[in-house]
Amino acid sequence: MVRFSSRYAAPTAIRKNSPLNNDELMRIVPSAFSAEKHDSRSERYTYIPTITLLDKLREE
Protein backbone atom coordinates (compact mmCIF):
# COMPACT_ATOMS: atom_id res chain seq x y z
CA MET A 1 0.00 0.00 0.00
CA VAL A 2 1.34 3.44 -0.92
CA ARG A 3 1.54 6.00 1.86
CA PHE A 4 0.47 9.38 0.50
CA SER A 5 2.15 11.31 3.28
CA SER A 6 5.59 10.05 2.28
CA ARG A 7 4.89 10.04 -1.43
CA TYR A 8 3.88 13.69 -1.59
CA ALA A 9 6.00 15.06 1.23
CA ALA A 10 8.18 18.06 0.46
CA PRO A 11 11.87 17.15 0.32
CA THR A 12 12.77 20.07 2.57
CA ALA A 13 10.87 21.95 5.21
CA ILE A 14 10.73 25.74 5.17
CA ARG A 15 10.46 27.37 8.55
CA LYS A 16 10.76 31.12 8.81
CA ASN A 17 9.31 33.85 10.94
CA SER A 18 8.65 35.97 7.88
CA PRO A 19 6.73 35.43 4.63
CA LEU A 20 8.51 33.98 1.64
CA ASN A 21 9.64 36.55 -0.91
CA ASN A 22 9.10 36.14 -4.66
CA ASP A 23 12.58 34.70 -5.25
CA GLU A 24 11.95 31.99 -2.66
CA LEU A 25 8.50 31.29 -4.06
CA MET A 26 9.91 31.02 -7.59
CA ARG A 27 12.35 28.37 -6.40
CA ILE A 28 9.76 26.39 -4.42
CA VAL A 29 6.50 26.85 -6.41
CA PRO A 30 7.33 28.08 -9.93
CA SER A 31 3.76 27.37 -11.05
CA ALA A 32 2.63 30.36 -8.95
CA PHE A 33 4.28 32.54 -11.60
CA SER A 34 2.51 31.00 -14.57
CA ALA A 35 1.62 33.64 -17.17
CA GLU A 36 -1.45 31.94 -18.61
CA LYS A 37 -4.03 29.28 -17.91
CA HIS A 38 -3.38 25.65 -18.67
CA ASP A 39 -4.56 24.40 -22.07
CA SER A 40 -7.00 22.04 -20.40
CA ARG A 41 -9.10 24.96 -19.09
CA SER A 42 -12.16 26.10 -21.03
CA GLU A 43 -12.70 29.57 -22.44
CA ARG A 44 -15.17 30.23 -19.62
CA TYR A 45 -12.38 29.88 -17.07
CA THR A 46 -11.05 33.21 -15.82
CA TYR A 47 -7.35 33.00 -15.17
CA ILE A 48 -5.94 34.93 -12.22
CA PRO A 49 -2.21 34.43 -11.65
CA THR A 50 -1.44 33.03 -8.20
CA ILE A 51 1.33 35.56 -7.69
CA THR A 52 -1.19 38.38 -8.21
CA LEU A 53 -3.31 36.99 -5.39
CA LEU A 54 -0.28 36.62 -3.14
CA ASP A 55 0.84 40.18 -3.85
CA LYS A 56 -2.64 41.48 -2.96
CA LEU A 57 -2.63 39.50 0.28
CA ARG A 58 0.74 40.99 1.18
CA GLU A 59 -0.74 44.49 0.79
CA GLU A 60 -3.39 43.78 3.43
Q: How many domains does the chain have?
A: 1
Q: Phi, psi (5° rounding) for residue 37?
A: -70, 160
Least confident of 19-23, 30-34, 35-39: 35-39
4 belongs to a structural domain: no
Q: Which of 46, 21, 49 is nearest to 35 (CA)?
A: 49
Residue 1 reports pLDDT greater than 50: no
Task: Share the mean pLDDT of the chain.
Answer: 81
Residue 29 reports pLDDT greater than 70: yes
27 belongs to a structural domain: yes
Domain that holds residue 43: 16-59
33 belongs to a structural domain: yes
The residue type of 60 is: E
7 belongs to a structural domain: no
The band of 12, judged by pLDDT with boundaries at 50, 70 and 90, is: low
CB 28 within 8 A of CB 20: yes
How much is the average pLDDT of 39-44?
Answer: 89
